[in-house]
């Protein structure tokens, strides 16, 4: 008895499409949505003297890699003093720094606030890409 597999070439072509284009696009869409959520969560807790630091997050987000295995991005603030404001909790004398609005670790806190939403965003992006709205 001789068996012939039919459709192997089509299956390989479809798998290449998923790994080369569809999955990276889904991961990228999900990552962009998460970055926007982090931005929205960080703004109210960012220390403010002027709006420069708070507004400097715009344009500093970028996707650095997107593949079938996930996406990587960079998010930060473009204001040159953002890192010291983010990291400094106490003065050189050990006194706790209190900001009238916001406080240290504002970006870290925002990431913690939205991190539980990442699986849902990824599922939503994959679902819309692969299943066109059908439930996974």
Please tell me the distance from the alpha carbon of residue 131 to that of residue 124, in angstroms, as a whole number: 10
Per residue in 108-119, pLDDT (tens digit) is: 899 899 989 888
Please tell me the distance from the alpha carbon of residue 7 to that of residue 9, in angstroms, as a whole number: 6
Please tell me the distance from the alpha carbon of residue 129 to that of residue 30, in angstroms, as a whole number: 11
Average pLDDT over every residue of 93-116: 86
pLDDT value, residue 127: 79
Who wins on pLDDT, 28 or 17? Answer: 28
Question: Highest mean pLDDT range out of 18-22, 54-58, 113-117?
Answer: 113-117
Query: Does the pLDDT at position 124 exceed 60?
Result: yes
Sequence ranges of the domains in the chain: 8-125
DSSP 20: I
Who wins on pLDDT, 2 or 104? Answer: 104
């Amino acid at each position: 008895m001789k068996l012939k597999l039919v459709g192997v070439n089509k299956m390989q072509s479809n798998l290449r499409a998923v790994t080369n284009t569809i999955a990276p696009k889904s991961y990228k869409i999900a990552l962009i949505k998460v970055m926007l959520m982090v931005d929205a969560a960080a703004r109210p807790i960012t220390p403010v003297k002027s709006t420069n630091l708070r507004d400097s997050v715009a344009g500093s987000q970028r996707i650095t890699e997107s593949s079938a295995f996930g996406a990587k991005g960079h998010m930060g603030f473009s204001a040159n003093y953002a890192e010291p404001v983010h990291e400094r909790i106490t003065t050189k004398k050990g006194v706790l720094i209190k900001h009238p609005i916001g406080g240290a670790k504002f970006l870290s806190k925002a990431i913690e606030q939205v991190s539980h939403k990442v699986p849902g965003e990824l599922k939503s992006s994959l679902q819309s890409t692969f299943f066109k709205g059908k439930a996974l």
